[in-house]
Structure 1
Amino acid sequence: MSRETTEFVIYIINEVANTRGLYPSKVYKVMESTGCISKYLIPFYDVLHSMSSQSVVEDVLEYVTSRGESL
């Protein structure tokens, strides 16, 4: 994973945490367990990093919800 991708993933984890009032570690655990990081954020980085933060946060929340988790 490139440095830019790593920074993007960390940024999105923190954005989701701030939006939901959660600790980033909790958000990371849910995103990791649902495959959101490895199957969504990393593979689609090229498209996602050009979208607004809010759009990506909404997509992440939808992704984890569709896999039976919630944030």
Structure 2
Amino acid sequence: MLNLLSILIGLVALVLGIVPFLPFLAWGYWFVIPIAVVGAAIGALSSRNGGRNLNLILIVIFGLRLMLGGGII
């Protein structure tokens, strides 16, 4: 059950992460990354790894995009 909740949180983070992918809106990742961190924490409590892995991948991708923009842009 926790794995399913983690996957749902990851999908919400993925949908919310589409808008900041546009130029000059990367600052939105400051709001999306904590959602993925919560999903990864819930996924870590689960016996399966799918939800945790999804959220960890999202954190890495969003973090790299945030670093490319200098953390603000």
Q: Which has the larger radius of gyration?
A: 2
With the length of structure 1 as denominator, give the TM-score of the two structures. 0.32
Asked which structure has the greater RCO (Cα within 8 Å, sep 6+), the reply is 2
